[in-house]
Amino acid sequence: MKFSTLVEEFRGGVLENIHAGIVCGVNDRGEVIYSSGDEMHIAFLRSAAKPFQAIPVAREKIDEKFGLTSREAALFTASHRGEVYHVEALESLLAKTGIREEELLTNPTYPLNEEPKFACLTQGVSKRRLFHNCSGKHLGFLALSKERGYSTHDYYEMDHPAQQEALTAFAELAEYPKEQIQLGVDGCGFPVFALPLKHLAISYLKLACPDLIEDEEMQAAVVKITGWMTENPDIIASHNFTCTALLEDPNIIAKGGAMGVYGFALKKERISFSLKVIDGSEQVWPLIIASILTQINYENQETIQRLHDLVPTEIKNDNQLVVGEKRAVFTLEQR
């Protein structure tokens, strides 16, 4: 198994941390054209699977049938942070679909972002299932199950018809046999997929270039899903997060998942990348992705700068004194 050193962190000139991993880039023929490390390394998508898990919801036109706004529908693909605008859209979803919050499998929690969490604590607001960062995805599957007459008490089980449809759609877009996709259980209780990073990159390429999808119904669903994401970058994560920073560039479709996995694709260039940080760090994503974009001479410098603003190369201590630096050190191998 081959990993590359992706990021090094220094304190006082001494190497303190190394973040190893893999980067894979593919073109619109599904060929690996950039790599650092073993692109056949198998990784769980975690929340990077959400755009694909939303395909059955989009195919059923749940947004249209329940009169959802684009911001509300974007929650089906989001890892939201519990900001006020997230919760308002989630509560509107509940009202429009008639779903009761108690039907959600998601564990009651507080919002992930510090400000809304502090507001809950100081105002005596209890933990809620809706505050869970995967609640939008769960609402999508509940709405789909209600609309189709599926059972709702087990909507999160792998053998549920909605879950099977999502897995089948993902396998098709990833160009990988469905029976070879390895399965686990995500933090929120949903099934989660694992497959080689090369095929994760291929699947993200289809999000950016839906003309590569032969099935017209699937293509229409993907166009709808990526439209939700591009129109509402703040819904997909929130301020100061990688997904939102990338989706503010209309040329990019992107989504990350827990434990360091990420997928993003460039529409105009018709190339796509997947990456995995082996120690599970998400904090170094902006450094890695900014380095990828720089190495391929991506023309939108504003996007690269937004990433650098998220994670400056300087390491500062609690007194805001510069005590070290972190930098991406890998070189993409061109093929």
Q: Structure tokens of 168?
A: 């089948």
* pLDDT tens for each residue of 24-49: 999 999 999 999 999 999 999 999 99
Would you say 291 and 78 are in contact if contact means Cβ atoms under 8 Å apart?
Answer: no
Mean pLDDT of 186-215: 97
Full-model pTM = 0.96
Which H or E run includes 116? helix 114-123
CB contact at 8 A, 205 and 54? no
The mean predicted confidence, pLDDT, of the chain is: 97
Q: How far apart are CA 75 and CA 104, in angstroms?
A: 14
What are the counts of helices (DSSP H) followed by strands (DSSP E) for the chain? 14, 12
Q: What is the pLDDT of residue 163?
A: 98
Phi, psi of 172 (to 5 degrees): -65, -45
* Per-residue pLDDT band at 1 (split at 50, 70, 90): low
pLDDT at 123: 97
DSSP-based three-state secondary structure for 319: coil
Q: Is the pLDDT of residue 310 over 90?
A: yes
pLDDT score recorded for residue 35: 97
At residue 104, does pLDDT exceed 80?
yes
Query: Which pLDDT score, from 0 to 100, does residue 292 have?
Result: 98
Q: Which residues contact 210 (CB under 8 A, 6 or more apart)?
A: 219, 222, 223, 226
CA 111, CA 78: separation in Å to the nearest integer? 14
- Residues found in the chain: 335
| Residue whose C-alpha is closest to residue 23's, from 269, 301, 303, 291 | 291
Q: What is the mean pLDDT of residues 99-121?
A: 97
For residue range 135-185, what is the model confidence (pLDDT) as tens digits? 999 999 999 999 999 999 999 999 999 999 999 999 999 999 999 999 999
The type of residue at 218 is M
Q: For the chain, list the domains and their CATH numbers.
A: 4-334 (3.40.710)
